[in-house]
Amino acid sequence: MDNLPKNAIEIKNLCKTYKPQGKTPAKEALKDFNLVIPRGSFFALLGPNGAGKSTMINILAGLAIKTSGTAHIWGHDITDDTRAAKRAIGVVPQELNIDPFFTPYEMLEVQAGLYGLKKSDRRSLEILAAMGLADKANSYARTLSGGMRRRLLVAKALVHSPQVLILDEPTAGVDVDLRRQLWTYVRKLNAEGVTVLLTTHYLEEAQELCDHIAIINHGRVIACDTTKNLMGQLDSKRMTIMLVEDLAEIPASLSGFDAVLINPRELEFNYKPSRTQASEIISAVQNAGLKFSELATLEPELEEIFLQLTNDSDQSGGP
């Protein structure tokens, strides 16, 4: 029988207000924040700077104290069952906070000791190898490049084999090859059952990697759905048609389709799928006597949805 929790993380009505400091007024970083992350998912948390992402992660990690609300990690309440909740997660922070006088191997061994792992249960060398750091195991951390330090933080978060891995901007400053290696390993972890929570400013990463996405702004979740459903929320598509012959001007019969002549042989149509079918545009082009050699349609990018939702949130005054 499966005794595992249905959800890896459950957050209900979470609030965090920072008290005023001198002339700085009180700040409500999270307000009635609600989020459910299914077990085994690859989940992205997106939002502009100051939206509350890091505050939420710090509360889960025990680095910040919530003002009110509840949060459970792997079924453990972060307040009533703190030790079990902390043991269930591994957090990779944004900051490169490593001790420059420890070697990567020593750093992982110390971290494993803090979690009470016996020597026989530790996988320090195995984890370093998986992160591409096997040849740096006994080098001082201060000699590592920025990308290597970033991967070392991921290794550090994995020493106790957490059920939930939280990655806070893990690929910031990491080159393309190292980023690809990192995601290959994280995908492998996810396939093995580890729930992954990712915050990133690389929207294409979230779109490619994650099966669920939540967008937050002003301390609240403004959208949360599967990546597929979220991508479908933006009722907009673009069709490009490459013509066989030069076209001097757009035929009057196409004026109702928001057509733009990009160049003499390229027509672009922006349309709403809820109102116009692609076949209608194609028929109209053919009825206008135009012949074309190529046709392409573009789906909305996650960045468009992100900007639309956060702009709507800003214009409505936020929470």
Indicate if 175 and 292 belong to the same structural domain.
no
Indicate if 82 and 168 belong to the same structural domain.
yes
DSSP string of 226-291, one letter each residue: EHHHHHTTS--EEEEEEESS--SS--GGGGGGTEEEEETTEEEEEE-TTT--HHHHHHHHHHTT--
Q: For position 288, what pLDDT does the model report?
A: 93
Digit-coded pLDDT (tens) for 107-161: 999 999 999 999 999 999 999 998 889 999 999 888 888 888 888 999 999 999 9
Look up the CATH number of the domain holding residue 18. 3.40.50.300
Q: For position 182, what pLDDT does the model report?
A: 82
User: What is the domain extent for residue 227?
Assistant: 7-88+162-231
Q: Is the pLDDT confidence value at 1 over 50?
A: no
Q: Of 192, 209, 231, which residue sits at a domain end?
A: 231
Q: For position 315, what pLDDT does the model report?
A: 58
Indicate if 272 and 174 belong to the same structural domain.
no
Look up the CATH number of the domain holding residue 282. 3.30.70
Phi, psi of 114 (to 5 degrees): -65, -30
Digit-coded pLDDT (tens) for 22-47: 888 888 999 999 999 999 999 999 98
For residue 91, which of 149, 38, 165, 200 has the smallest C-alpha distance? 165
Asked if residue 188 belongs to a domain, the reply is yes
pLDDT band of 258, cuts 50, 70, 90? confident
Q: Is the pLDDT confidence value at 313 over 70?
A: no
Indicate if 75 and 171 belong to the same structural domain.
yes
Indicate if 218 and 277 belong to the same structural domain.
no
Residues contacting 138, CB < 8 A, separation 6+: 103, 104, 105
Asked if residue 149 belongs to a domain, the reply is no
Asked if residue 142 belongs to a domain, the reply is no
Indicate if 82 and 199 belong to the same structural domain.
yes
Indicate if 183 and 218 belong to the same structural domain.
yes
Q: What is the mean pLDDT of the chain?
A: 88
Domain count, the chain: 2
